[in-house]
Chains A and B, each alone.
Chain A
C-alpha cells in the first residue's frame, strides 16, 4: 500500500517551510526513524524522519523548493513490488486529515445555539446584588474573648481531632511550638506523625504537601511567613492550583497554605510584603485573609475542609489581638461572604485583614464628625463577595478601599473595576484605593510608618470622596 509523505509541521506555529535537501532518492529503502530530508523553517533547519517503512516511490517536491505548505504531499512511499501510481485512494494521511477537520467543525457547530451564552464566564456580580447578610452565629450564643493566635490553633486542633488525614507541616511547627506559637500544644496532642517539623526548605515541603494532598491527605502547610513562600510559589500555582483543571476534574489538591503575610514591624523589605493581590489573581486558588479571631477560626476550619487549595493569609500584628469568639461545637465561616462591621450611609469602606484596623478606627473618628461609614470586611478575596460591595455602594454612592499591599494591580484596583462595571451610575465620586506606598518596605521606624497605610489616610480619603 503506497503512502503519501506530507510536509510536516515541525513547530507549533509552522505553516510552511523550505524543503532544503532530500537525503534519500527514489528507489531507496527507508524504515521508520530514518532521516529522509532536511526542512528549513524560519527558526531552524530540522531533520525529517520517516514514520513508515517502504521504498521511496516518487519524490513530488524537489529539494530547494521554498514555501511548501504544511500537509502538502512531498513524496510517495511504496511497499515492495508497488509503483508510486498505486496510491490507494481513501487511505492517505491527507485524506484522513481532511476527514478529521470537518469532524471538529461539526463538533463546534453542534454546540447548542445557546452555547456561547452558556460559555460565558460566571458573572462577577449579580444584576441585583443580594448579599448574604445572615449572622455568623445565632443570637444569644455564648461568647468568649480569645486571641487570633488561640483561634487559629483551636481551628487546627478541632479539625485534626475530627479527621485523621489532617496534618500540619512546616518549619518549627512541632517542638518549637510554632515560630509565632500558632501550633502551640499540637505536638503534645497529636504527636510527631501529624505535626511535622521540616527543614528550611519551602520549595521542597510545599511540593511534598501537594503530593500528600494528591495522595489523599489534608495537609496544612505553614510558612513561617508568606515572604518565604516565594520559594515555593511554583508548587502553589503550577501544581496545586492548576491540577484540577488540567486533569479535567479528576484530581484536585485539598491543601491549606497558611502563615503570616504582610508587614510586621521593622523587619525590612524582604519580610514585609502583602501577597493578597498576587494569590487572589489565580483561578483554582481560594484566598482568605481574616481580621478577627472569630473569622480566623471559622475560616480556617472551612479552609481545612475545602477540597481546593486555600491560601490563608494571617498577620503577625493581629496574632495577639483579642476578639469575641462564639462558643460553639463546630463554628465555621463560609468563603465568599463578607461581614459588615458597621452600617452607614455616607461612604463604603472595604478592607480585609489588618487593613480593617484602620478602616474601623477611621469610621469611629468620622462618626464623631457626623460622617457615617459602612465598613465591609471581605474576609475572603477569592471567592469575593462583590454583591456585598455593590449593595453597599448603591446605598452610599462612595467607595474607599484599604489594604497594605502595593498599589499597582492591587485588590482595590479589582474592586474598582467591578464597581465601575456594575454600579457606575451609582457613584457620586471617584473610588479611592488606599494601599501601601509604592516602595520596598524601609527599615527606619519613621520611614516604615510612612510606607504603610494609616487611619489618617483613610479619614482623608473619606473626606475627599464625601466632599466634607
Chain B
C-alpha cells in the first residue's frame, strides 16, 4: 500500500498548491461573511467559526478518496466546504432558510450531506466519535476500503465515549482516522487547564492505537500525515490518531468575551503561523503564481461567498408545514 510514501514530503504541483490556497481561502472568507451576517442578526443561535484552522480539513481532504466519510462536531462549516458541499446550501442553513442543507431545520451545528459522505455536524461534544467508528464499522462490514475521518477537538478529547470508542475501534480494526483538532482552547479552558497529559494523541497508546502530532498550520504536513493515516487504515491495520495542532483565531462562538487569552497571542499566530499566508508564500516564492494570479483567486472566492450570502438572504424561510415533516421516515417494507 501507500505506506512507503509516509515519511517523504509530498511532491506537490503548482496546481495542487493553488487548489489548497483556494479551498482554504474559501473557508476563511465564508466564515468572515458568516460572522458578518451573524452581527446583522441574519444568523441566530450559536455560530462557531473555523477561521485559523483551515489547513486541517483542506490537508486531510487531500488525502481522502471518493467514498471516504467524515463526521465532526458543531464547528463544522470548514469541513463541509472542504468536502465539496455547496456554499449556498451551507450559508442558507445558517440563516435558517428553505435552501439550506437541512431545509433550515438543523442550523449551523446540524448539517449533513449523504452525497458528499458528510455525516454531521453534531452538537454534543464527543458524540461524533463513536458515530465515526460506527461508519467505519459499516464499511468494514460491507467489505469496502473506505476510511472515516472522525474529527473532534481537544475539549472532546476528555469525554469518556472517546476512549470507549478507541477501545472498540482497535479491538475490531476499524478503518477510522481519529483527528484531534487541538486548537488549544475548549471554549475558554486551555488544554493545560483541562488535563495534565502532555499530549492527547499519546493516549491512544493505552489501546494500542498509533498516532502522531501534526503541524496543523502547514497544509502539506497535514496532507502527508493524512496519507500515512489513511494508508494505515486501508491496509486493514485499524485506527490511527492524528493530533493536529491548530489555532482558532475567533471566539469559541460569536458570543465569546475572549478573556482567556491575550490579544497578542492571537496576533502572533496570525502574523507568524497563518496557514493561508504560508501557502501564499510557497506559491510566490516557488514562482508557481504571481500576485495577480492570487488576486484573481481572491476575487473569485469573494464572488462565491457573496453569492452564498445573497442566496442565504433570498431563500425563503421554510414553509410552516415543515414543522411536522421529517420526524419519521415512513416507508416500512413489509417484506425484508
Contacts and interface: CB of A to CB of B under 8 A. Distances in A.
B168 A198 contact: yes
A11 interface: yes
B12 interface: no
Given A246-B106, A247-B102, A307-B332, A212 B137 contact: yes
Contact of A47 (B106, B258, B332): B258
B134 A209 contact: yes
A234 interface: yes
Interface stretch (B15-23, B107-115, B214-222, B233-241): B107-115
A234 B127 contact: yes
B124 A234 contact: yes
Contacts of B127: 207, 234-235, 238-239
Given A96-B313, A235-B130, A116 B320 contact: yes
Interface in B142-182: 142, 160-161, 164-165, 167-168, 171-172
Interface string A202-219: 011111111111111100
A209 B165 CA distance: 11
Interface in A242-276: 243-252, 254
A119 B271 CA distance: 52
B10 interface: no
B138 A211 contact: yes
Contact of A247 (B106, B135, B263): B106
Contact of A239 (B104, B131, B139, B324): B131
B336 A212 contact: no
A246 B105 contact: yes
Given A208-B130, A238-B123, A239-B131, A248 B326 contact: yes
Interface in B32-64: 32-33, 35-36, 38-42, 44-46, 51
B211 interface: no
Contacts of B98: 107
A100 B40 CA distance: 11
A215 B134 contact: yes
Interface in A304-337: 304-308, 330, 332, 335
Nearest to A44: B257
A121 B325 CA distance: 10
Contact of B102 (A32, A96, A217, A248): A248
A246 B102 contact: yes
Contacts of B164: 199, 201, 203-205
B319 A111 contact: yes
B112 A243 contact: yes
A127 interface: no
Given A199-B171, A217-B138, A103 B314 contact: yes
A214 B131 contact: yes
A47 B254 CA distance: 10
Interface in A103-159: 103-104, 106-108, 110-111, 115-116, 118-119, 121-122, 158-159
Contacts of A308: 328-329
A17 to B, nearest CB: 11
A93 interface: yes
A71 B37 CA distance: 11
A33 B249 contact: yes
B206 interface: no
Contact of A115 (B71, B124, B320): B320
Contact of B161 (A47, A111, A203): A203
A468 interface: no
B45 A12 contact: yes
B166 to A, nearest CB: 9
B59 to A, nearest CB: 22
A111 B318 CA distance: 10
B134 A244 contact: no
A201 to B, nearest CB: 4
Interface of B: 32-33, 35-36, 38-42, 44-46, 51, 69, 71, 98, 100-106, 110-114, 119-124, 127, 129-139, 141-142, 160-161, 164-165, 167-168, 171-172, 249-251, 254-259, 263, 270, 313-314, 316-317, 319-321, 323-336
Interface of A: 6, 8-12, 14, 32-33, 35, 43-47, 49, 51, 70-71, 93, 96-97, 99-100, 103-104, 106-108, 110-111, 115-116, 118-119, 121-122, 158-159, 162-163, 166-167, 193, 196, 198-199, 201, 203-217, 234-235, 238-239, 243-252, 254, 283-284, 286, 301-302, 304-308, 330, 332, 335
23 contacts: A10-B39, A12-B45, A33-B270, A46-B257, A51-B33, A51-B35, A93-B40, A97-B41, A103-B313, A115-B321, A159-B336, A162-B336, A204-B164, A205-B168, A207-B129, A211-B135, A214-B131, A234-B124, A247-B106, A249-B103, A254-B329, A307-B330, A308-B328
Given A121-B324, A210-B134, 18 more contacts: A46-B255, A47-B263, A71-B41, A93-B36, A162-B336, A163-B336, A196-B172, A199-B171, A204-B161, A210-B130, A238-B122, A246-B112, A248-B326, A250-B101, A251-B112, A284-B328, A307-B330, A332-B334
Which 6 A-B pairs rank lowest in CB-CB distance, beginning with the nearest? Answer: A211-B134, A207-B130, A204-B164, A215-B138, A8-B39, A107-B316
